[in-house]
Structure 1
């Protein structure tokens, strides 16, 4: 497949090179073409500064020609680098990625400048109008005009194939990126990790977009140009910020100027061709809605990938497993002896437990609530010479508690009990706190996660609330 792709790209670039060289040859041999062009520029605009200003104004027209610069980013994960590269220091990958992007940018810049020039001076203006022979296919027009219909037909076929390949590579990029990130953050269901369902989804979206734009090349081109410009504009701003943080004053000014140009180009393109913003806004709204529904639907899902206990934590769990393992969910405040003593006394009083019962405290600290799936690392501590505490860091308190209880049950073969206080406040507000920030109505949510994770009531860890 890679060989076919490389061959296809090579053939297409070769055919384009033939058309460009032929066009440049025609420009050089037909001397009046250049003189007519320069005369028209001088007569219409007067001086060089006016020409530059007009060039900046019409620069957004070339937005679609910038397409391709952004696709280099999709292949960055495939750059191998050096044998000694690590995730922390991928020096070889960074170096080779710079070479890849620089080479691609140089090739595309040469093609873009040359093709813009030869098509401007060799093709009559009226052919670019709607319905004209060069509308949307300027290079194909030159191929037929100067190299014959046989070569022109070959060029048309290669263009169709390369456009298909570009769409396929874009889909491959999405299939590589989306299943890796969206389900991880709860923004897509589990089946989004599978390739085949996502191929069907993306294909249906492609047909939907084609239908919405009535298969109009100009309309779809405007939408695509908007997407390309937004991507390049955001990248230019990001590089400017990175250069500023690195203290590179010259690069900051240079990239800042480029960012301003692309910001202007994006705004003008949006005003002239609002279809791109409309379809983009629809997609963004759809993604946000689906992501919210997905996170809501997966709110009670056990999403801890694995549980790791240090030696002390494992010993605590095995110590209490000789009888009924009893855990107290505690929200750490001062972590002084009085806090743990009062908590234990309250739990005993609320649940009518004798003073001989043994407890282990569990304290969960919320790290990043957006990290929907993650592993769980549990550490054991002995505080004030008598209180055993399991400390956990997680994106969600109920999920961490449920996962730890299930792990303790599987490790010891004994069903554990966990004790909570009722959370003060409005239940709906507490659920929103849990949904957005991983905290809130802890006890009922923990019980619901356990219920969904373990259908057998006789094996499900017991939840007590006082």
Structure 2
């Protein structure tokens, strides 16, 4: 797969029908059905269906239209990050991009580790798993005095089983992540083909489970009656008991407050636009604005959002009405809900926790929703669930492999090998294994970081859309604002802030990724600062080309940097000839360099040459660094004749200040940096341009 840079879309090596690519992004989005109904139940209790309605409305009326707009502006897979990179120039824009890349890394990496961990959870909880922990597998501690009670034995067994399951999850999760990395070493074509099969099979099986549940509810309306009665009575089984009014208005407000905790159901949008280069458009598409690919990407986003919304609503209703709270929520002996920490301390993990649909497929709720439900059908459903959860990391890996090469190498904040697919796959697989070890493959421990990354990226997309539309429109400020997108942005700002305030651990984890991205990126930028990073001059007119052909064939050229406005060319030439003892018969060429964006790494400056008052003046614009531009210019001239000389005057600038100015602002310590760049770029001294410093 090729890796286009922002603003320069290029065709990818393999492109596929949009529906097949939707399956690649959908393995992330649709696989959340494995744990999203449980997440809704655990975070919203019996109000889960109401909170899910809010989530679906935000999805269809908020995230979907915003990302439809983003798709039209980021057809090379830049996503919201690429839009903000264009809208915010300079170092502030670069730092913003790096921070968002940190959140994107949080989102994509945790997608892989969380999904693989949940896959291992489904595997080890299956009744046919050969390593199921049994009471006969443990012995009571020697320190236990006398005969232990049945209650003590049960507690010891649950704690021992929990410890054993953690070790199993670590091993199984690590194996799944390594297999995922090996799959990507094969290439994207094989990955997409497998994704189509998995998503199709998983959605059909999920439709059977959820559809059977809806039919069962229709045949047994008392299930709905019982649920609504509990809701009316205020028995909502929330983690934090509600002490206020139990009215419909309170339910509505609580649903709005609780829905940010269900934000995992919003995953998949950023990945959907990140893999746009894989989507086949029209044969006659303009590479600069491929309407066919943009249209097909919008089809992908709409189809995925509608299908997932229907599943979210139906599965939440089915699980809430057919699964008893004690089967999915940890409770004490008196039926009072325990906090997650207390449940872990006591080794309590209900059978439906994290696997609500699989729980129904196995008929573990005590009633078969269909005659064929049970261990056999449940195991088939588990198999597809396990594989699609494992493969959910494929969409995240695809997003990372498309996103990272577009920014870090271009900014000089990663080595050139970061543009290659296989080294990146190995690096990300290693990071996945480290994250899995740190979190002990615990799904709940990673979910907050996952949701935080998802919401920050969606919020950044909203902000980018609002800014972009504002800049494109004319007129009064209130006419330039897209008020629908502005309101959507407010909603997602609230959602993100609410989640972070409620569960700040997600921000802490994301902060670790952001810190790692910032530190390694700036270290790489400093290390690579003495690379020539030059891709050629752009000469815009015939007159400049004529003068360039004349200058580069001179016997000896003396280049003198000049800052316009300080003094005239005549006085500058008089001073330089006296101080540097340059004879009258040697041509002096003045070079004026104008910086555009010093934060850019690669540069292709514009070179214009004029003959003013008997003197050649090179006007170089759109440069990223004065030192790099002068070094590149002299090396280009050395290709055609005798290497030129670059003459500088002494400066009062301190070395440390000059170095920082060179790194951050593209100017500072120029003579020394030019000499170092030339020494590295041209090892042959006879062909290397000379740097001369003289004067008072």
TM-score by length of 2: 0.63
2:412 is matched with which residue: 159, 162, 186?
186
Query: CA 1:342–1:251 in 2, change beyond 3 Å: closer, same or farther?
Result: closer
- 5+ residue gaps, structure 2: 1-189, 235-244, 331-348
Classify the secondary structure of the residue corresponding to 2:618. strand
1:398 is matched with which residue: 594, 606, 627?
627
8 Å CA contact 2:646, 2:692 repeated in 1 = yes
1:19 is matched with which residue: 209, 217, 223?
209
2:360 is matched with 142
The Cα shift of 1:238 comes to 3.3
2:429 is matched with 203
Q: Give the alignment's Cα RMSD to 1 decimal.
A: 2.3
2:338 is matched with none
Matching of residue 461 in structure 1 with residue 680 in structure 2 = no
Cα offsets for 1:293-347 (capped at 9, x unmatched): 111111111000223446544544554534212211212227xxx6111121222
2:527 is matched with which residue: 284, 287, 297?
297
1:13-162 matches, within 5 Å, as 13-44=203-234, 46-130=246-330, 131-145=349-363, 146=368, 147-162=373-388
Deviates more, 1:451-460 or 1:40-49: 40-49
Cα offsets for 1:114-160 (capped at 9, x unmatched): 21221111111122235011111111112212422222112222122
Deviates more, 1:264-273 or 1:22-31: 264-273
Deviates more, 1:137-146 or 1:398-407: 137-146
Deviates more, 1:82-91 or 1:282-291: 82-91
The Cα shift of 1:47 comes to 3.0
1:285-324 matches, within 5 Å, as 285-309=515-539, 311-320=542-551, 321-324=553-556
Query: CA 1:297–1:194 in 2, change beyond 3 Å: closer, same or farther?
Result: same
- Bigger relative contact order (CA 8 A; separation at least 6): 2
The Cα shift of 1:35 comes to 0.9
Hey, what's the Cα distance between the residues in 2 that align with 1:149 and 1:420? Answer: 82
- 5+ residue gaps, structure 1: none
1:338-357 matches, within 5 Å, as 339-357=568-586
Hey, what's the Cα distance between the residues in 2 that align with 1:34 and 1:301? Answer: 68
1:4 is matched with 194
Classify the secondary structure of the residue corresponding to 2:537. strand
1:358 is matched with which residue: 587, 591, 597?
587
The Cα shift of 1:427 comes to 2.4
Classify the secondary structure of the residue corresponding to 1:418. strand
1:422 is matched with 650
The Cα shift of 1:84 comes to 3.9
Hey, what's the Cα distance between the residues in 1 that align with 2:227 and 2:314? Answer: 15
Deviates more, 1:141-150 or 1:131-140: 141-150
2:559 is matched with 327
Hey, what's the Cα distance between the residues in 1 that align with 2:248 and 2:287? Answer: 50
TM-score by length of 1: 0.92
Cα offsets for 1:397-455 (capped at 9, x unmatched): 11111111111111x13211111223343221122111111112211111111111111
Classify the secondary structure of the residue corresponding to 2:433. helix
Matching of residue 450 in structure 1 with residue 450 in structure 2 = no
